[in-house]
Structure 1
């Protein structure tokens, strides 16, 4: 090793030695890098290549001098990354359910596994294990209208119905929600809607699960507009919350209150410990001879585990439960428990058991928020400011409000990149809304709801439910008031995965180290922010089926092809475009010329006008007209296969191409096209494209007797 290399090596060793207490925090990060690589890289050859590179790093570390921190870090980091990739790969092979290859219409007979009511949408979601039907996945999920749900439907029932089954929905636009990936790990291979009549061949003999019974009980007893939120706080099921209220909670930064997480688990465990301590202290014998804290901690742990199981054991709940158990263990042993090591242990448990959770917003936002809070609480200046002291009640109150506000700002700052990456919008006023909402939920709503449930045993819960309803109405008033502000959220178009990963690693670098070198993590964070701010939003968006097309107008507003597109499609397009306004119809644009079947739209981008031709209906167009219009267009988009003689000047996105690429986001300024699917993506939830024969009538655009070409 040369003199300069030796000095650099010794400098790194000295730095790692000073950070030796922080090194274990990077164990789940190393494991997560391998898991993230498996999701990001498209095929087994590249997964294997990543594992080989990770092992090569570990082998390189073995060549360094023995006993050094850098040697240990390289060996362990390489092994963890390789193990993470192999772990998620093996789990995908072992427990995943391959999707249905194509849509089919058929009669299904199956055994009901679960029934989840969604009152806000007037339906139920039913998971079914098909019986005696070859070629179907082992588990399917169908929606049933509330009016069609038959008597006797429940776990163990055998039913028969007609349905059109489809593969779980993939991301319809670049960066949009990919349900197919989540469905794969849940074992769901097909989805559909059950059609009447739905015949119950064998009724269920099991009663509804406790969670479902509690959910129905709260909906029956709770009072006011916040009934759905009351049910979500107790069971984790958000199916009864209206879309307007859910959107207001998201825009105001209060959506975390609806997901059972650290706030809820901590409040429950704290209440149980408080009650047990007070009850046991009433006995002199227990107070003098029993280890009260140990007994109360054990009771709180059992309550936390029961609450986690009752609410469905989602990732935030499991993380919170694991963290709470570690805290209780630390308190029982007389040690400081609320540390970043506790968070790292919780993350490690979740990643080992549910590695697929890493790429979901729930895991990222849950751990991001708690890492930000604990890192802030461990900072010496913040700890000194938050320490208890002799002061007046007003000064104490104001100091606690400042602490809560600073904590809210830290959480919002950390969660903003995650929210922009997954939802293309991030809250700006959540820290202020949470100043009132968190104490209101923790110290008013949840205790009142718990009292109401206890009083319901004797049929006396009505007054407590009335008070709960008024408190929830206040919470909704705060949410809607903050959400209505024009500064409530900031939007952004799709964030590239590498930019998001760069910002996450930079943020972790800042939060997990303690020396001055931690601030080097601000460089990738700042670079990611610059990319987001400077990136131009797409000018044209095309969904994976080619039916829905949106274009950006000169004033920045957006227009959509089909006026009757549903709210889900409109919201998805607006979010992917980073647009907050209303989508107007393309046919109403002055630069559009539309017939019954086609629309030609002039879109400005890159310093010129682009002619965009899109199909509007399923009818065919005469060859002469279509060939002429294709030649005049720069871009042609169709929800069917176009013949070879349709040749636009730049891009032809028809059914055949969209089957390979998925949805498109077209940037005319840069002349780039982003696709929802990666070329050669071999992940097991990706349905490989199949093409209908060219003789299919929907492809024969040139065989129409009544022409309706563009004027």
Structure 2
């Protein structure tokens, strides 16, 4: 067995570098899966494991060497993620705040409710010390505004509400609190009073670039009316604040939303177009072609253009990731190496993971590297193989690349967004060539002609292409059965999918088909995924009960974000009032959840009118209850400590799970009183759940 394992590893020589980001990613994933923040002893032990792995990696024998590399990479990934988490630590607001807010505008965008949203730094809060004040806050603007036009760099004052970033709306769900921690965002809130200018924009170089971006976005929207102008601003400057909600929905339903975000496709099209234009344009001049390497000249110009595009688009994470991937390939051209290889993709992944380990858990990283890896692997395997007649090759390439990228990203898109677009291939075949052959070249043409005052020529051509893409999105999204919704998968599904697919792609030999086993297991686990029978919002203001017709909600409005996410994760999105009309649970009425009864009341008067627990096993309320009641009491005090609560029917009882129990005690979780819930709650009398200090 040892000899066979050694021979198998030796057969992989030259192919093992692709496993480096897999090892790093495994360590990073383990860090985020921990329930307790590692301390100094844990990091000391990981350092020893890393050193031991380094020693083993230098020994003779492929088995020991590979084991050493694996241990070193996994331990290194854990340490890397922990270092990043501590490095970005900033104060987080620990309570609900209402009062004066002062800060400098560093970002302007729009919320999901289409309200203008300002991100402020250099924050000053009334009667709060600098040490406790968040470095950055985000405020949505409601009510009558219009006194000033917000400009990046402007210092503003306002009166508003702030609160700490919220945790998951259900146990195991998306953790906005963790994302905010790595974004340096210490509080979020809103204002209904006018925002006033305290001082004008400051000459900060970083904000100067942002002001140029916003000015360019406004100029493009002035030259192109309506949705086309908003689309043009999004793909050139990253400003999506003007995109109407219905257009965004049509792009998502037709699987064309990736055209809106400045990511690998846009960066690749821009740099590829400039690379080809420079290389073949210079080749037309014999004197230049005979004396200079036009291929490398094209790579240098494309690299500089990509860097400029990165700066112009705001340098967000997706664009940064795309630039790294394109940059690695262009540098490979400069050093006379093949650009499109799995090794180049692995190098880009390693750089991204070292810079921002938290990206591993996001849909952007997963989908972009899934698509790129699959495309490089499949087209690498088809090198030298011609499918169909030569004149049809461009069409076949577009169809094949859209099919491969769509299949590779579909599981990750379904897991994160709970929907599958059935006609995405058709929409992409009709739109991606237009983006590559019309929109991006026209944008370059407009930039070249702008100093001559002729940018309108390029913008006119660009508008034609964008209107075609929008028409395709609206048409395809309107087809019957354009999308279907899926249930959110369990925690182990995506890791199994990733490791299975990577094993099939990276391993050489017959053993590669062993990767189908984890893929099949992931599919089986996903198909058997069960949703909680009971969900309770961390505010105590909303309760959801699963029924054969879908999840019934206790009220028709309020806590809308929690309601929307619950219904999406169920794979059955509907309007909140429609979910309330299912009638399985209503405020003030008893509801059956498995073998137990649940009562939801809101407000102090309604709670005071309930005698005991009103016949319920679980009483949920959005106020603090100071008295003792003979049931499990999920009041506001308990829910602030426990977070959202889920209940799963188990035997003759209900297994209760809290968000705090799934996230654990991490850097981004607040230090609050801890709540102990019964693991499995059976029918009958139960003691009141009380918070106890840590």
Same fold flag (TM > 0.5): yes
Q: Deviations over 1:105-156 (max 9, x none)?
A: 1212333334446798241323221248412112222223595355474344
- CA distance in 1 between counterparts of 2:396 and 2:656 reads 46
- CA distance in 2 between counterparts of 1:585 and 1:601 reads 18
Q: Deviations over 1:412-455 (max 9, x none)?
A: 33323322332233334323321112112111222334434555
* Correspondence for 1:684 among 658, 667, 670: 667
Q: Which residue of 1 aligns with 2:105?
A: 112
Q: Is the 8 A contact 2:144 2:192 kept in 1?
A: no
2:606 match: secondary structure? coil
Q: Structure 2 matches for 1:275-294, cutoff 5 A? A: 275-281=277-283, 283-294=285-296
The alpha-carbon deviation at position 530 of structure 1 amounts to 0.7
- CA distance in 1 between counterparts of 2:495 and 2:669 reads 22
Q: Is the 8 A contact 2:497 2:518 kept in 1?
A: yes
Q: Structure 2 matches for 1:405-554, cutoff 5 A? A: 405-455=399-449, 457-462=451-456, 464-485=458-479, 487-554=481-548
1:81 aligns with 2:64: no
Q: Which residue of 2 aligns with 1:700?
A: none
Relative to structure 1, is the Cα distance of residues 479 and 661 closer, same or farther in structure 2, using a 3 angstrom cutoff? farther
1:675 aligns with 2:658: yes
- CA distance in 2 between counterparts of 1:300 and 1:598 reads 65
Relative to structure 1, is the Cα distance of residues 552 and 202 closer, same or farther in structure 2, using a 3 angstrom cutoff? same
Q: Is the 8 A contact 2:91 2:135 kept in 1?
A: no
1:620 aligns with 2:613: no
2:161 match: secondary structure? strand
CA RMSD of aligned residues (A): 3.2
* Correspondence for 2:193 among 171, 191, 196: 196
Relative to structure 1, is the Cα distance of residues 458 and 193 closer, same or farther in structure 2, using a 3 angstrom cutoff? farther
The alpha-carbon deviation at position 497 of structure 1 amounts to 2.0
Q: Is the 8 A contact 1:386 1:403 kept in 2?
A: no
Relative to structure 1, is the Cα distance of residues 320 and 666 closer, same or farther in structure 2, using a 3 angstrom cutoff? same
- CA distance in 1 between counterparts of 2:534 and 2:81 reads 35
- Please report the TM-score for the alignment, with normalisation by the length of structure 1: 0.85
Q: Which residue of 2 aligns with 1:383?
A: 383
Relative to structure 1, is the Cα distance of residues 557 and 481 closer, same or farther in structure 2, using a 3 angstrom cutoff? farther
Q: Is the 8 A contact 2:591 2:599 kept in 1?
A: yes
Q: Which residue of 2 aligns with 1:695?
A: none
Q: Is the 8 A contact 1:666 1:673 kept in 2?
A: yes
Q: Is the 8 A contact 1:509 1:521 kept in 2?
A: yes
Q: Is the 8 A contact 1:114 1:127 kept in 2?
A: yes
The alpha-carbon deviation at position 371 of structure 1 amounts to 0.8
Q: Which residue of 1 aligns with 2:597?
A: 611
Relative to structure 1, is the Cα distance of residues 591 and 315 closer, same or farther in structure 2, using a 3 angstrom cutoff? closer
Q: Unpaired segments of 5 or more residues in structure 2?
A: 676-694
Relative to structure 1, is the Cα distance of residues 345 and 217 closer, same or farther in structure 2, using a 3 angstrom cutoff? same
The alpha-carbon deviation at position 166 of structure 1 amounts to 0.9
- CA distance in 1 between counterparts of 2:430 and 2:288 reads 39
- CA distance in 2 between counterparts of 1:622 and 1:77 reads 57
1:235 aligns with 2:229: no
Relative to structure 1, is the Cα distance of residues 351 and 274 closer, same or farther in structure 2, using a 3 angstrom cutoff? same
Relative to structure 1, is the Cα distance of residues 636 and 469 closer, same or farther in structure 2, using a 3 angstrom cutoff? farther
Q: Which residue of 1 aligns with 2:355?
A: 353
Q: Deviations over 1:70-108 (max 9, x none)?
A: 211111211121121112212221222242111111212
The alpha-carbon deviation at position 639 of structure 1 amounts to 2.0
Q: Which residue of 2 aligns with 1:706?
A: none
Q: Is the 8 A contact 1:272 1:299 kept in 2?
A: yes
Which deviates more, 50-59 or 95-104?
A: 50-59
The alpha-carbon deviation at position 586 of structure 1 amounts to 6.2
1:655 aligns with 2:648: no
Q: Is the 8 A contact 2:564 2:576 kept in 1?
A: no
* Correspondence for 1:154 among 137, 141, 151: 151
* Correspondence for 1:185 among 179, 182, 185: 182
- CA distance in 1 between counterparts of 2:427 and 2:349 reads 28
Q: Is the 8 A contact 2:540 2:636 kept in 1?
A: yes
Q: Is the 8 A contact 1:98 1:684 kept in 2?
A: no
Q: Is the 8 A contact 1:124 1:145 kept in 2?
A: no
Q: Deviations over 1:566-617 (max 9, x none)?
A: 764443122122213444456644555x5xx6232345x4xx6x533112x3
- CA distance in 2 between counterparts of 1:258 and 1:337 reads 26
The alpha-carbon deviation at position 39 of structure 1 amounts to 0.9
Which deviates more, 526-535 or 101-110?
A: 101-110
Aligned residues: 664
- CA distance in 1 between counterparts of 2:334 and 2:551 reads 59
- Please report the TM-score for the alignment, with normalisation by the length of structure 2: 0.87
- CA distance in 1 between counterparts of 2:606 and 2:202 reads 57
Relative to structure 1, is the Cα distance of residues 245 and 568 closer, same or farther in structure 2, using a 3 angstrom cutoff? farther
- CA distance in 1 between counterparts of 2:112 and 2:636 reads 36
Q: Is the 8 A contact 1:248 1:480 kept in 2?
A: yes
Q: Which residue of 1 aligns with 2:37?
A: 44
Q: Is the 8 A contact 2:157 2:198 kept in 1?
A: yes
Q: Which residue of 2 aligns with 1:173?
A: 170
Q: Is the 8 A contact 1:170 1:179 kept in 2?
A: yes
Q: Which residue of 2 aligns with 1:371?
A: 373
Q: Which residue of 1 aligns with 2:90?
A: 97
Q: Which residue of 2 aligns with 1:598?
A: 588
Q: Structure 2 matches for 1:298-317, cutoff 5 A? A: 298-317=300-319
1:189 match: secondary structure? strand
- CA distance in 2 between counterparts of 1:123 and 1:194 reads 11
1:20 match: secondary structure? coil
- CA distance in 1 between counterparts of 2:100 and 2:430 reads 52
Q: Is the 8 A contact 2:169 2:562 kept in 1?
A: no
Q: Is the 8 A contact 1:153 1:204 kept in 2?
A: no
- CA distance in 1 between counterparts of 2:609 and 2:109 reads 53
- CA distance in 1 between counterparts of 2:47 and 2:497 reads 21
Relative to structure 1, is the Cα distance of residues 314 and 516 closer, same or farther in structure 2, using a 3 angstrom cutoff? farther
Q: Is the 8 A contact 1:661 1:676 kept in 2?
A: yes
- CA distance in 2 between counterparts of 1:312 and 1:322 reads 15
Q: Which residue of 1 aligns with 2:16?
A: 23
The alpha-carbon deviation at position 545 of structure 1 amounts to 1.4
- CA distance in 2 between counterparts of 1:23 and 1:383 reads 21
Q: Deviations over 1:200-233 (max 9, x none)?
A: 2222244652222222222222234233222111
Q: Structure 2 matches for 1:549-568, cutoff 5 A? A: 549-554=543-548, 556-565=549-558, 568=561
The alpha-carbon deviation at position 260 of structure 1 amounts to 1.5
